[in-house]
């Protein structure tokens, strides 16, 4: 069995890849990590704790440690129903710590929609149905359907990275109706880009266009996973995938290590 990591690394150096205009929102995309190195901060901390001198420690080194600040929706992450609102399917929405591991280790299918979608536009129902029909795998109850949109070719921080194809309410409810529970994408977000939805609302006044892909999760409980990475390394079906978020009490989401288990 091969284990394939489909998680995007969280790297504070990604701040350098963002255009200056995008850095105002960097805190939702890039972690802040303060590195405590064994030869510098680590040795100072250990000497303070133990009342010793650097020469008392192996090779004069202390521990390595880090202090960090990350958002629950940063990088590859799992959305719990609470992210879409306080109620889901008429019941109090579950948090990330309410979701069992059994629900997060499931059969996986990759729906390849490359070449059939455009940045900044919604993924049509016809495209989703076609991709599902083209996949010889079987949708099993609670499985994961992961969209390979072609965003793998867009470097982090580029214009194309932010202008991704997104999901609509109709498409989200269709995928949920198949029996899948986990809906994932390799794009930055699940919905169409925020500027697109904002523009459409400003032009039409149609409130149903606001974050409609996520808000669909109020009516059908699904776990949405964004910023999947390296889907090209996976077969289209016949594998298990584990979505393992941090067990953050009462939170609406968590960064996750997502791993495919391929025979």
Q: Which residue has the tokens 């960064």?
A: 255
N-terminal to C-terminal alpha carbon distance within the chain: 4
What span, in angstroms and rounded, lies between the C-alpha atoms of 85 and 169?
15
Tokens in use for 257? 């290590």
Per-residue confidence (pLDDT) for residue 254, from 0 to 100: 98
Q: Which residues of the chain have pLDDT under 70?
A: none
Tokens in use for 41? 């901060």
pLDDT per residue as tens digits for the range 165-210: 999 999 999 999 999 999 999 999 999 999 999 999 999 999 999 9
Q: What is the pTM of this model?
A: 0.96
Domains of the chain in start order, with CATH, are: 32-69 (no CATH), 77-262 (3.50.30.50)
Per-residue confidence (pLDDT) for residue 165, from 0 to 100: 98
What span, in angstroms and rounded, lies between the C-alpha atoms of 136 and 207?
37
């Amino acid at each position: 069995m091969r284990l394939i990591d489909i998680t995007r690394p969280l790297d504070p150096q990604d701040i350098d890849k963002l255009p200056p205009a995008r850095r105002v929102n960097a805190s939702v995309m890039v972690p802040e990590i303060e590195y405590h190195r064994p030869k510098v901060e680590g040795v100072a901390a250990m000497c303070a704790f133990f009342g010793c001198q650097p020469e008392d420690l192996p090779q004069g080194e202390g521990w390595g440690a880090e202090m960090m600040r990350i958002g629950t929706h940063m990088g590859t992450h799992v959305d719990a129903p609470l992210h879409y609102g306080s109620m889901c399917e008429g019941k109090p929405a579950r948090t990330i710590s309410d979701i069992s591991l059994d629900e997060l280790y499931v059969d996986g299918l990759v729906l390849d929609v490359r070449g059939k979608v455009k940045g900044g536009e919604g993924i049509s129902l016809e495209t989703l149905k076609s991709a599902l029909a083209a996949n010889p795998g079987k949708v099993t109850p609670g499985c994961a359907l992961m969209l390979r949109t072609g965003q793998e070719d867009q470097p982090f921080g580029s214009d194309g990275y932010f202008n991704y194809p997104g999901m609509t309410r109709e498409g989200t409810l269709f995928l949920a109706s198949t029996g899948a529970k986990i809906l994932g994408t390799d794009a930055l977000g699940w919905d169409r880009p925020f500027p697109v939805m904002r523009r459409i609302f400003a032009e039409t006044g149609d409130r149903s266009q606001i974050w409609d892909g996520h808000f669909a999760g109020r009516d059908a409980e699904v776990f949405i996973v964004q910023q999947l990475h390296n889907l090209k390394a996976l077969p289209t079906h016949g594998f298990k995938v584990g979505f393992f978020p941090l067990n953050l009490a009462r939170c609406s989401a968590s960064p996750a290590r997502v791993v495919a288990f391929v025979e």
